[in-house]
Amino acid sequence: MKRQMMTAVAVCALAFTAGCAATTTSGEARPLQAEGGAQTFTPAPVTATGLRADYPTTVAGATQFVADAEAKMLTFGEYAARVQWARATNITFDTMWLESKVNAEATELQVQFANQAARFNDVAVDPVVRRKLNLLRLGIVLPAPNRPGAAEELSQITTRLDSTYSTGKFDFKGQPITLDEASLILADSRDPNETKALYEGWRTISPVMKNDYARMVEIANEGARELGFADTGALWRSGYDMPADDFAEETDRLWAQVKPFYENLHCYVRARLNAKYGDAVQPDHGPIRADLLGNMWSQQWGNIYDVVAPTSGGASSYDLTELLKTADYDPVKMVKTGEGFYVSLGLDPLPQTFWERSQIVRPRDREVVCHASAWDLDNADDIRIKMCTNVNGDDFYTVHHELGHNYYQRAYKNQPMLFRNGANDGFHEAIGDFVGLSALTPTYLNQIGLLKTTPGAEEDIPFLLKMALDKIAFLPFGLMVDRWRWGVFSGETSPDQYNAAWTADMLKYQGLVPPGPRPTNAFDPGAKYHVPGNTPYTRYFLAHIYQFQFQRAACKQAGWTGPLHRCSVYGNEAVGARFNAMLEMGQSKPWPEAMQAFTGETANDASAVADYFAPLNQWLTVQNRGHDCGWSEA
Ligand code: X8Z
Ligand code: ZN
């Protein structure tokens, strides 16, 4: 989820900012205090981007411009990616300084590309050049306006926000702890005082970000307007081969399709939490207390499976974390296992450099960005992941997710530079998730020796419940993060309303409330990586639909006639070949064509989610009988 100039260099890290100045600009190098653990640094002036400004507005001029832009993206992109990797895997004064500088340059270059591309709006170029010109206009996450110092100021802020998040720690039981430590405790804690302390403690790292965030929004909006968008949110909604307003409506439509199912799950989980904790902690009506769900943002609830497991008709006979620990897995073995799945589909093993250069565990001696990401440093073969892997079920899944990004990057490496990206950003997120659906089946776990026997149909409901706790619970979160940001970028939500709006969106979409009143200086959105990391989030909502479309289509191709959730495509090279054909297309065609290449479908379709979970939805409906489901949004 790297911002995608120089296209998706890293698919999950800090991204480029954008600015627009053809000549050298010297930013007002205000020394920046990176609070919350990161360091003070003074940025350097930005150098010229050196791109011609006078391409003739003819077919030949447009073609030459696109070729020059692609060449520049390739060389500059590799340079920027290596600086970004250096900062993400070693956060210091100097690496922040370097990244801030290179991101300002990248921003200027991107905005220059976007403005130049607009000069050819009325030139009758061929469809490939037209698509590339469009992508040049849309491939910026945070544009800066064309005035001296803007790109530098923006990049200083974004580097600082990301570094502040990544180095964040808070006191827990008298000790400073990191997010990954807190997340491990929260996953297992069943003490509501402790979960409340963890929830509130992690959110002490973000109030310091609020002013920076507000300033960043101002600058990026100024940049977006100069590029002809109403605001930065409108720019973000424009990357889906359809008008921005239609895309917003499309997400509404998809949410309406899956919302009844989410409400069913919410109702069931609430009742079980009430049974465990009692009315004083979790009433049997209204919203759920967000800290009781085993995840720092309540975005995936699988960690509390033990609390909500069926009380009759059989519970799950295994716990993936325990299986991994019993079998003595270590982080590298988890990644090797993930690679093994892709290889079983007929794809090539990862290059040796992947193993030499990836960051698979948290280094003990330095600050890093632990949020998992997949990188493609040279837009060719230097692919890597950056994780702080722990041996547990969540990270087993995340390994497959990240490798999906890497396999996509490698599959489209022979496309022209501007097409080296996902069909849309939701596709990029869905590749590894789709593979993960097979990799979590008991059949597969049995095939690789983790599970001694394959459970029968009596474990369908427990298995589906586990999956729904992660996949269905995620859907409203996947939507609400950008709903909040769209409101912020449009000005509908002003800085003094930032936190109240976030809490209101939690209630509206997820039916959740924080464990207690939030302090007046709270900036809870800043405690979720993708907000200070400036990674658009609707991609994950889409991915949670696409992966089930991929699963349904792949299992059909495999001739599978059983229930979708039991289907694994492990070892199926025919499916792998068709899958890879979609991956190889990159962003060369509108996403419906990529979707069609693999699935035969051309639309976003949440009916695949319903198909996959149908037995569970029926079961939940029965469990919820007599309960008053839902919550009030007021
Ligand atoms: O950020 C990620 C990946 C990297 S692209 C680990 N995910 C989202 C999140 O953690 O919030 C995957 C699921 C949603
Ligand atoms: Zn991802």
Containing domain of residue 441, as a range? 320-453+537-623
**Ligand 1 contact via 12 beta carbon (within 6 Å):** yes
> What pTM was estimated for this model as a whole?
0.94
Instruction: Indicate which atom in ligand 1 lies nearest the CA of residue 429.
Output: 5
Is 297 among the domain residues?
A: yes
Residue at 542 is within a domain: yes
For residue 9, report the distance from its CA to the centre of ligand 1, in Å: 16
Can you tell me which residue has the tokens 């889409």?
Answer: 542
Residue 529 CA: nearest ligand 1 atom is: 11
Ligand that comes closest to the CA of residue 542 = 1
pLDDT of residue 3: 39
pLDDT by 10-residue block (mean), the chain, 634 residues: 39 33 27 40 49 90 96 96 98 97 96 94 97 96 96 97 97 97 98 98 98 98 97 98 97 97 98 98 98 98 97 84 98 98 98 98 97 97 98 97 98 98 98 98 97 93 97 98 98 98 98 98 98 98 98 98 97 98 98 98 97 97 96 84
Residue nearest to atom 5 of ligand 1 (CA): 12
Ligand 1 atom closest to residue 297's alpha carbon, by position in its atom list: 11
428 and 561, same domain (yes or no): yes
Burial of 365 from C-beta contacts in 10 A (0-12 / 13-18 / 19+): exposed
**What is the per-residue pLDDT for 188?**
97
Residue 23 located in a structural domain: no
429 annotated ligand binder: yes
- The one-letter code for the residue type at 332 is V
Q: Which atom of ligand 1 is nearest to the CA of 299?
A: 11
Structure-block tokens of residue 444? 């597969």
- 458, amino acid identity: E
Residue 58: how many other CB atoms lie within 10 Å = 13
Tally the domains of the chain.
Answer: 2
Residues 388, 360: Cα–Cα separation, whole Å: 6
Mutation choice for ligand 1 from 394, 401, 469, 541, CB with most ligand atoms inside 8 A: 401
Q: Is residue 551 assigned to a domain?
A: yes
Q: CATH number of the domain at 294, please.
A: 1.10.1370.10
Helix (H, G, I), strand (E, B) or coil at 585: helix
372 CB near ligand 1 (under 6 Å): yes
Asked if 521 and 600 sit in the same domain, the reply is no
d(Cα 429, Cα 468) in Å, to the nearest integer?
A: 18
Cβ of 1 less than 6 Å from ligand 1: yes
What pLDDT is stored for residue 185 in this prediction? 98
Pocket test for ligand 1, best of 301, 303, 359, 398 (most atoms within 8 A of CB): 398
Residue ID of nearest Cα to ligand 1 atom 14: 540
Ligand nearest to the CA of 544: 1
Distance 171 CA to ligand 1 centre (A): 25
- Identify whether residues 401 and 502 lie together within a single domain: no
549 Cβ neighbours under 8 A, 6+ residues apart: 595, 599, 601, 605, 608
Asked if residue 356 belongs to a known ligand binding site, the reply is: no
Is the same domain home to 345 and 405?
yes
Tokens of 239: 């990357």
Q: Are residue 477 and residue 422 in the same domain, yes or no?
A: no
**What are 17's strand-pairing partners?**
142
Q: Specify the residue with its C-alpha closest to ligand 1, atom 13.
A: 540
* Catalytic center residues: 402, 530
Consecutive H or E run containing 474: helix 460-490
DSSP track, 143-165: ---SSTTHHHHHHHHHHHHHHHH
Distance of CA 86 to the CA centre of its chain: 21
Indicate the pairing of strand 383-386 with strand 373-376: antiparallel
Q: Please work out whether the CB of residue 109 comes within 6 Å of at least one atom of ligand 1.
A: no
* Tokens representing residue 301 in the block: 């609830």
Classify residue 345: in a domain, yes or no: yes
Q: What is the pLDDT of residue 23?
A: 25
Measured in Å, residue 185 CA sits from the centre of ligand 1 at: 19
* Domain presence at residue 220: yes
Enumerate residues 6+ apart whose C-beta is below 8 A from 18: 5, 106, 107, 108, 109, 110, 111, 114, 140, 141, 142, 143, 144, 151, 154, 223
Q: How far is the CA of 273 from the centre of ligand 1 (A)?
A: 26
- 627 a known binding residue? no
Residue 76 in domain: no
Same domain, 444 and 461: no
Same domain for 444 and 516, yes or no, is no
Tell me: is residue 401 an annotated ligand-binding position: yes
> Is 115 within a domain?
no
Secondary structure (DSSP) of 249-268? HHHHHHHHHHHHHHHHHHHH
Residue 176 has which token pair? 């400073």
Q: Is 82 annotated as a binding residue?
A: no
Q: Does 308 lie in the same domain as 236?
A: yes
Domain identity same for 313 and 334: no
Pairing of strands 373-376, 512-513: unpaired
Radius of gyration of the chain (CA): 24
Shared domain check, 475 and 593: no
Coil/strand/helix, residue 480: helix
Q: Is residue 537 in contact with ligand 1, taking CB distance under 6 Å?
A: no
CA distance 87 to 94: 8
pLDDT given for residue 38 in this prediction: 46
Would you state the pLDDT for residue 313? 72
Q: Are residue 492 and residue 609 in the same domain, yes or no?
A: no
CA separation for the pair 169, 68 (Å, rounded): 45
State whether 376 and 270 are in the same domain: no
Which spans in 327-377 are helix H?
331-344, 352-357
d(CA 264, CA 461): 14
Q: Which two tokens stand for residue 205?
A: 């790292």
